[in-house]
Every structure is written in C-alpha cells, then in structure tokens.
Structure 1
C-alpha cells in the first residue's frame, strides 16, 4: 500500500518542458521548498489516492498513453519519502525520521564550522508594506521608463567620453579611508535598491516575499530577499523578470548617477554628492556584473540561466552529468548517463560543470587565504585548514570513494588503459629528478671596478678624463685643491718648526730645560701631524689603482667647481674579465651551489648571452640592494623600499650569488641588467613541492 501524501502540499502548473510536455511545481509550505514534477510524475501523484501500486498503474494505463512500471512508482516514492512529503503513519516511518534527524543534527562547534562563512539573519516581514507601496512604483514597469533609462545611459556615456581623463582619474581619489567609506555607503544604497527590485517585482506577479534581511558572506554583510515563491509561477518570462530586477535596478540607478556626475558643479559644497553619484555610476554596477551575474554560484546569474534553459537544479544536474562523464573517461564502466539530453545540451552542461568546479576551486582557495589573514595566525591557520578540507578535500574524497566502491566493475578497456598510462606518466613526471633551473635578476659588470670619490670638500683643478679613455696604474687622473687643508698644513708646519728650534735650544735655556722630555713628545706629535696633512693633500691627486678605462664621469664636475666630500667623480673598470651578481630569493637558495654552470641573459637584446660559473653564494641575506638598476623604484624586478637616507631595502629575503669565469673577456663600460639562469640541482617536482610546503608551514606557523 502507498503511504498518503501530506494534506498541506500545494500543486501549481509549471512551464512546458523542452519537449513540449506539461510540468507542475509541488510546494512544501513547511520548508518553503519547491519540486519540479514531470508529466509522468504528476499523473502518478494524481492517482496516488488509489492506495496501491497496482491500482495506480492500472488507472494510468487506462486513462493515458504513458507506459510506466512499478520501478517508476518506487522512484517517486523514494523522492517523496526522502523529502518528508508523506504522512508518517507507522513505527518504521517514525524510526526513519528519527534517524534522519540524528544524522542532520550538528553540535555547536560543527554548526559554527559549517556556517560561519555564510548565514542569514531575517530582519523584516515586508509583505504588507510591499503590497501598500506597489501601486506607487507601477511606472517603473512601463516600457517608456526603460527607454528613458537607455537614453540616459547613452547620453551619460557620450559625456563621459568627452571628459574621459577626468572620469578615469576620479578612481584614484578613493584610496583613502574616507574614500573607502564613501564606497561602502554607495554600495549600501545600491544594494538596498537591488533587493527592493526583486521584492517589488515578485509582489507584482503575485508571489509572497516572506522575509528580507542580512546574509553574512565571509563575514561581509549583504542584503537578501526571499523570492522562492517565484518557482510557482508558470511563466518563465515572469521568473526571469524577478531574477533580473535587482541588476536592472542598479543599472537604472547608475544611468541617472552618471548624468548627475556631469551636471553637478565641482565645488566643495557639492563635492560629496558628486562623489556619491560617481560611485553609483561606476563601482556599483561593475560589482553587480562581476558577482551577481556569475552563474557559477547561486546568485542572480545562476537563476537567470536556470530559467533561460528551463532546467531547475542546474548545478546538481550538470555536476551529476560531469561526474558520470569523468568516470566513463577514466574507467569506461559503461553506465547510462543520469539523464538523456540532446547532444548539444549534453556537452554544454558538462562544460558548464567543469568551469564551475574550476571557478569554485579558485574561489575557495581565495576564501581560505582571506580567512587566514583575517584572524590571528594560529586561528587563521586552523580556519584555513577547515576551509581547504571542507570545500576542496571533502568533495574530492567523496568522488574517490565512489571510484573505490565501484572497483568491482573495473575492467581493462580502452578508457582504463588510457587512464593507467596517463597516471603512470604523471607519477613518473612527479618523481623523476628533473634538472632544475633558477632564474634571478642579475647585473653584468667588470671583474675590476672602482669608483673614485672626492675625499674632502675641495675645488676641481684639472678636467675629468673622458668616458672610454684608457689609463695606466699610478697615472694621475685629476687634481683637487683644498684651501682648508693647505692652511692647516701651513699652521702645522709653523708649529713643527718652532718646536724643533725650541728642542735644539733646550740645553741652553733653563725654562726649556725644565720642560724635559715632554718638549720632544710635542715636537714628534707636530711632525706626525705635518706628515698626515701632507698625505691628505696627496690624496687630492687621484691616481688610477690599475690599468683600465673610464666607464663613467660626473658631467657636473668642471674645472673650478667646488665639490662636497663624498661626491662621485669617476668609475673605472679593468681591461679584462667580467662578473655577474645574481640575486636569488630564499626558496631558490637551496638549489644553488658553487661550481654550477650559469648563463646571463642581458635585458638589451643586442647583447649576446654570457656563460659563467657560480663562484660564491652569500650565506647572509642582503640588508640593502647595491645594484640600483635592478630596483623596482628604478624599473627593475627586485621589490625594494627606498629609505630616507637613500638606501634600497629589499622587501623579501634576498641573497647574492657571484658568477665568475665568464666567457666575455671584454667587460662592459656600464653595468648591464638582465636575468641569470642558474643550473640548479636535480630534484623531483614532488620533493620540491613537499619542501616548499614544509618551509611555508614552518614559516607561517611560527607564533
């Protein structure tokens, strides 16, 4: 005997199926859930009161052209029982309901872990207010209104194109906290209008809106409107209108705001209003298109696609089809698909499911990182692990479990042999010790290089040598003059001469004789001062420390110019030998060791690559970058922060690797930036991934 249906269930006509057959919608008011019924399911339910399977089938065969069997009735019975649509009239029913309740019961901790990223707080029961206000918004649904909106949007776009520079640069003014607050206020206004658009449109078509409230998505509050009763509408056009009403409301608001941004005066008094209009014209509808229009999550775009395709439960049906397709491609079980569809829709649903899985994988990874950074480190790590396990590892494990349970049906066939071959090749690629290559920013320079600075505040006497001019070791390159040092030397010489005379007369003068050995000490000190000042004056004659060429000369240093101490004057390079300084990060440091081969690729394409060898790896990270040409502030690849004293401070741990024995004998006059390719050690990808994961965990788990 068939158990009776619940008496509170409601049945509504639904839209026609793709094959033209009628459908119905079954409404469960207790849970406010809707179930789409096909024509065969409806005919079975219409005869459900006959009591037995045989009576239902006999009446069906006598009165319709459908040819159904006991298995069809049993499948419908399982659906009704599983969704609590039958009257529980036996001990077995009570036990089944108790078991389901226990299985669905969650402890406080389990509920928090499952729902802390998304939960709803109903705040309003707006049905009475919506019915009272609906007559006042009827003009919004007239075609003339939307023609006007389109005209405003076109006019605003034309005016924005004429002031495009001002329009685009307005975005940069919202990077402060005040700007972010303005963005939040604009978004709140737009989202309230968005939800009212759903609510008023649902009310217009006779649907009840039981609640409106706030939903928290990754701890971020967003408004929501319960429009589930739209499922009882037979017209797909009306359901599409309800689903699109929110986004259309925001686009209408953006059209008006765009025109207001052009019309309002750019004065301090109207500044906040004009800024709000700009935000409503840009940020709100961009976020609406980016988030609400996406069909990969259960937002407006998903329900619009469901109604456009007339496929309720689109996600579940496409996922089931994609899982079947994946199992058949991997194992070739030969099972029938979950449902039979036209070839084009069959392939489209599989592609849609695969894109949705990829989208959600990236989204859940992003949410896990967001949760990690939103809390203190220990709690962030725990919550991130929960996210990765619940949303990524758990679905994968459930699918792998299905594979394991179906192992008895596995046979060697074309699909299984292909899968085994690909799995073997993939495993081999993971464990094979591949030759690693490390790429790092680098700079090529001369093996011998030295910069000459002004040792004292002095005046340049001789002109600087020209760039490219050759010189020999010991050759005078330029002459400086320091009047201060000259005066100090004259004074020291006069003092030394006076003390020397006093020392020669000490034996004949009682006063000098009383000074004793201290007089000699004073003379020796004065003589040492004279020698020191003479050596300092000799430093004003800058000489070449080695044979080479002038690579750089200070263009502002001309004869007669006064130079401060430490002024850069010349850069000298030797005649033979080149070297490369590469800068690697902490992750690549373990793969580099002395003796490995390396290649330098200049950033200037006209320069040929240079083959070198690793000579030295600095074990201590750099406190400052001494290659300005590689700094990010100068257009380089190394992220740095410029200190107030001019030093370039790396933002990430950085280690210098010296490359020598380069095959370029003639060194460049100027340092050449580029990239170095270092021949790292042989290591499997699996080992690298494990090493990286362990290092990341150790670094991030340190409290």
Structure 2
C-alpha cells in the first residue's frame, strides 16, 4: 500500500481550472482556482501551488521534502494537511470513497439546514438571470471595438466640452428643464430614461469583459428590498492577471454612462422642445449623478466595492478587512496576544480599518432603515416578522457571534492595560446609562400677557345680526353674531324627512313582508341619519357666536352688516383679554410622567431682551389632544412642536400626543403686551437614560401592537 493511500490524499477534481494570478505585495506569485460547476474562484499562494503541482505523487511528508529541496520555500506536513482541509471544505476534490461521500452529505445537510435562514432574509436581495449573452457579445464585439480606442475617447471628450460651451449659452433654458422632472409625465420619462441608461451601463461591463477575453455567463435583474436593479456577471474577471484590466471592467459601466451623458450634453442644444429633449437632459444631468452616487459606494457590493478591492489588491475585501478589524478590536479590548490573521503594510492596515468600521456604521444605519421600511410596506404581522428577522440576522447576529468569540477566549484573558481600560470604559458607560442623572425636563413654552381668540363662522353663512362693534367690552356668553346658513337648513330639512320616512317604514314593518326583511338595514340607516342630524344641529347652534371669555372686541372687518355672506376662512373679529397673563408648557407623555403637580421651574424666552421667569405648575390638562392652536410653537412656522395642517387647511394637529400644562409665574407684576416663545425647564423625577429609552421603546410597542 502506498504512502499516498495510507494518508488518504484526496484527488483534485478534473474539471478544476488553474490560472496565473496577480503578484502579491511582496512580489510572490498567486494562482486562481476556478470551480466551473459552482462558478467560484479561490486564490492560492506560491506554496499551495507547489503542493498542487506534486499532489498525489507521495505522502504529505514527501511532498514537503520535495518542495524544500527544489524551491526556496519552507513547507511542512501541516501545510499539506491544511491545504487538503481547504480543498475538502470547498468541494474541490473527488468524493470516491465512503468517508468522502459521508463528509459531502454532511456538508449538504448543513447547507440544507441553513436554507431556511437564507430564505428568511433573501427577500432583501436576490438575483434572477434573464439572458446568457456571451455568444452575442462575441459576435458583436468586432463592430464596436472602436469604442475602446483612444481616438474615440478623445472624440467623446471633445463633444462633451463643446456641449458644455453650448449649454452655457442657454443656461437659463437648460436649468428650467429640471422643473419638468417634478411632473407625472417627467417622472415616467425619467424612469424610462434611467432604465435605458442602466442597459448601457451593464453593456459597458459586459463588452469590456469580453474585450479582455472574459466570459460573461449571465445578465439579469436583481432585487434589493424589492427594488429592481440590473446586473452583469463578470465574476470570471478574476482569471485576469492584470489588475488594471479588472479595474477597467469594474469602472466600465460608469464610464459608459459618463460618455453617454457627455454626448447627451452636446445633443441637447440641437433638439426641439419636447419629451426627447427632456430625456436627453435627464441623461446629461440627473442619471449619471444618480449612478455615481450609488455605484461609487464601496460599503455595498456595487462597482465601487470591486474597484476598491482591485485598487488595493485585496480580493474578498470585506471578508478579509472585517476579519482583520475584529482581530484589532479584540487586541485593543483584551490583548489576547494572538497573531494577526494577515499581514499588510501600515498604510493598507489603516485603509482596511477605516473601511471596516465605516462599513459597519453604514450597514447599521442602512439595515435599521430597511427594517423600518419593510415593517411599513407589509401588513403589520408580516412586516413585524420580516423586520425582526432582518434586525436579528444583519444587526444582532454578527454582534452576538463576536461576543461568543470573546467568551470562548475567556481563559486567555488576563488583567493588563487593555482589560483594565476596557473594564473602566464599561463601568463609565453603565454609569452614564443606568444612573439617573437628569432631574429636570425641558419643554417648549409660550408666554402671553393677554389671551385672545379669533372668531370664525363654522361654515359659509349669511349674517343675520351683528351685536357688537370694535372696542366693545363683552362678558363670557354674550351673543356676538347671529348667522344663518340656508344650505345647512336644507340639509337639516332633508335629513328630517329622511328620518320620518325611515321611522314610518319601521312602524309598518309588521304588515309588510319586505319591510321585515329589511328591518336591520332600516335600523342602521335610521341610526346613521339621526347621527348626521345631530351633527348638523350642532353646526346650526354654532351659528350663534358667543364670547368664550370676558374681553374686548378688536379687528372687526369693515362692512359686517346683516345680509352679507361670509366664509369660514374670514376672521369676524378678535376677542382679547389683557388682564390674563398666561404661561403654557407643552409636554410629551414621557415628560408628563416625571413632573409633579407642584413642580417648579423657569421659563426662558427665546427673546434675550425679555426676563427669565420663575414658575410653578398650576394645572395639568390630563387629556391629550392632537389639535394644536399655538402658531408660535408650530413647526410649520418655525416652532419646535411637530405639526401638520388638517384637510380643512385651517386647523393644526400634532404628530404625537401633547399635554398642555398651565404655569403660574411667581412674579405677578404686569408685563407689557407681548407674546414670547421660549423653553420651560421644570423639576422632575430623576431618570436614567436606560429607563428613558425603555419607556420610549415600550410606548412605540404599545402604539404599534394594535393589529
């Protein structure tokens, strides 16, 4: 029995291809293993190549001795065993014997068990190959080979510069084309134009790959959170030894769009007004900016990622950069004393660390946003499930996996400068989050040296009588205006007849078989009619406008005489009471839970010329309201309270529940007539950041738990 058989050296699969690769930083050569069945590529170094040259020609020991004898490399049996484990793990060897078949089946079962996990988050990104364009590209490449020449590049550059000169002469007209993008027709045209430019983008990748002799197995559409994007499979570009050639393939799509944008800039000046000119404008401006903003992003696996990978000469950039960054993090936190997973020069180490931590931050923000988007796009139960899956697999799972690695290495932990620093940082963070530092709350507030109310008609109406005039003093409940609305009277009369008709039908239901069958329907219609009638009655009663408090009538418009029609948008006057000095604070639910009825505080006006006032809580409106009447604090007028206008365009409503808290100024001296926006700082129950975050999360969960 041979030594090879005893050590059970696995035979490399016959369909595996081996290509020369680019040289490493130290000048040593590399080679690329290509698995054509799975379309995967693996980079190996000089030592692994020398082992594969002798693979199957003896035992591991004999292979190592041969390498040590014939090359300047130093090899050992452990190197050979590690290489075989790598080949087996990536299914690059034949599975002839029972043990190999069993190992292969175990791998497949493990992959099958992970299939459910893949399916749960594969909705975020998946590919659908549509065509296999390699033969078409091979046939048509000779006809467009000229676009790869320097002469063509100079020609496009010259037309672009000429186009910029022509556009500069029509700059106002050029800029005005942009407004068309905000119309429905412009949006449709932009979408079609964007699709066409993306086809040029992908053809740029495909033809450049074919120009360098690389096979393009497929093109199709990928879906990123159900958003379609075109793709071209140029993975076989790893066969190329030249890093410059791979950079050309990676940048070809963006170069194609930039060239197209340059030609569009030139053509725009010669086109008549219309859809075609607008489409050319999109290509010349918005399209290429949109493309560069997305494709140059190296944090996702778009063109920018592969360009950075080729530029640095680091294949599998994310995996290797993340592995190195995790090692740096562990050593900084615990100083395990483990060797670096790979050696890079100092400049490249900095680049990889900056890239890794930037990518982690970017992904945290991106996947959090996608989780929120997925939750709102789908029905509540499904959206909640898919968002939770995404948060777990993309945010929590990597963190938990790294923490498990720390726990697995706990036996190697020793008290040293790094661990003491880590423990100190942990204690400080726990203190910041768990100790209740804050004993105050801040809230938007308003000070008025008077109270006023604008008077409106509840509906378009006709003036019957005017009981007041400018400057007149009135008491609460005094009649100010009497209005009439013939339309409202007609509606009341119509609903009254409708109610009488329905009541008559119910009264004779016993004698009418059809009425018996419609009994439930009639009762529901009657209830709806009565509710509508009561609502109209309330509106009718509101046509008698009375004073809500004591005060003086001001700012009445001219010609408010009986018989005049007024709209519900016209202020009929303003009621002002200058004897009431009011201070109001607006608290959210979390802040309201922390204040006490007798809490004191201060009001800080935004206007620095006004004095700061000591205040005490007077009355808390325990019922929250979404309606908001304070224009000074409304966000649409520059205030801090987030509000939106209601459908009637007159009333405002807050985005979350707001509670009005009336304050009493300790200094009761009279203030000049003024309205001052400011900030109220009140004493409150001490609360830690952790408690605050938990209450915020709980409030969101309670609010969103209504299925």
Change (3 A) 1:434 1:176: farther
Contact kept? 2:321, 2:356, Cα under 8 Å: yes
Distance 2:561 2:376 in 1: 60
The match for 1:468 is: none
Match among 403, 415, 424 for residue 421 of structure 1: 424
The gaps in structure 2 that reach 5 residues or longer are 458-462, 483-544
How far is the alpha carbon of 1:570 from its aligned partner? Answer: 6.0
Tell me if 1:639 matches 2:646.
no
How far is the alpha carbon of 1:109 from its aligned partner? Answer: 4.9
The match for 1:127 is: 134
SS of residue paired to 1:11 = strand
The match for 2:368 is: 365
How far is the alpha carbon of 1:338 from its aligned partner? Answer: 0.5
Q: Between 40-49 and 172-181, report the one with greater CA deviation.
A: 172-181
The gaps in structure 1 that reach 5 residues or longer are 466-472, 483-538
How far is the alpha carbon of 1:643 from its aligned partner? Answer: 4.3
Match among 104, 114, 128 for residue 97 of structure 1: 104
Distance 1:696 1:196 in 2: 47
Distance 2:347 2:340 in 1: 15
The match for 1:580 is: 583
Q: Between 198-207 and 639-648, report the one with greater CA deviation.
A: 639-648
How far is the alpha carbon of 1:310 from its aligned partner? Answer: 0.9
- Pairwise mapping of residues 658-697 of structure 1 onto structure 2 (< 5 A)? 658-663=662-667, 665-697=669-701
Tell me if 1:319 matches 2:319.
no
Residues 149-189 of structure 1, C-alpha deviations (whole Å, 9 max, x = no match):
33444444555566666655654543454443323212211
Contact kept? 2:454, 2:571, Cα under 8 Å: no
How far is the alpha carbon of 1:664 from its aligned partner? Answer: 7.3
Distance 2:81 2:277 in 1: 64
- Pairwise mapping of residues 495-644 of structure 1 onto structure 2 (< 5 A)? 554=555, 572=576, 574=578, 578-637=581-640, 638-644=642-648
How far is the alpha carbon of 1:350 from its aligned partner? Answer: 1.5
Change (3 A) 1:357 1:560: closer
Distance 1:657 1:162 in 2: 61
How far is the alpha carbon of 1:336 from its aligned partner? Answer: 0.9
Residues 420-464 of structure 1, C-alpha deviations (whole Å, 9 max, x = no match):
111112112221112254443322102666779999866998x86
Change (3 A) 1:64 1:653: same
How far is the alpha carbon of 1:128 from its aligned partner? Answer: 1.2
SS of residue paired to 1:48 = coil
Q: Between 437-446 and 147-156, report the one with greater CA deviation.
A: 147-156
SS of residue paired to 2:677 = strand
Distance 2:254 2:97 in 1: 49
TM-score, with length taken from structure 1 = 0.81
- Pairwise mapping of residues 202-351 of structure 1 onto structure 2 (< 5 A)? 202-266=209-273, 271-351=274-354
Distance 1:26 1:385 in 2: 39
How far is the alpha carbon of 1:353 from its aligned partner? Answer: 0.7
Change (3 A) 1:190 1:660: same
Alignment RMSD (CA, Å): 3.4
Contact kept? 1:617, 1:656, Cα under 8 Å: yes
The match for 1:650 is: 654
How far is the alpha carbon of 1:582 from its aligned partner? Answer: 2.4
Q: Between 32-41 and 172-181, report the one with greater CA deviation.
A: 172-181
Tell me if 1:51 matches 2:58.
yes
Distance 1:229 1:124 in 2: 17
Distance 1:99 1:559 in 2: 90
SS of residue paired to 1:652 = strand
Change (3 A) 1:172 1:369: farther
How far is the alpha carbon of 1:318 from its aligned partner? Answer: 0.8
SS of residue paired to 2:628 = coil
How far is the alpha carbon of 1:640 from its aligned partner? Answer: 2.1
Distance 2:31 2:93 in 1: 18
Distance 1:66 1:398 in 2: 37
SS of residue paired to 2:396 = helix
Distance 2:339 2:75 in 1: 19
Distance 1:297 1:367 in 2: 14
Match among 61, 66, 72 for residue 68 of structure 2: 61
Change (3 A) 1:118 1:448: closer
Residues 312-370 of structure 1, C-alpha deviations (whole Å, 9 max, x = no match):
11111111111111111111111111112212212221121111111111111111111
Residues 540-595 of structure 1, C-alpha deviations (whole Å, 9 max, x = no match):
9x9x968xxx9x964976999999999565664546x7432222334443234422
The match for 1:700 is: 704
The match for 1:392 is: 395
Distance 2:341 2:601 in 1: 57
Distance 1:404 1:33 in 2: 34
How far is the alpha carbon of 1:634 from its aligned partner? Answer: 3.2
Aligned length: 624
Contact kept? 1:61, 1:67, Cα under 8 Å: yes
How far is the alpha carbon of 1:265 from its aligned partner? Answer: 2.6
Change (3 A) 1:237 1:64: same
Distance 1:481 1:200 in 2: 80
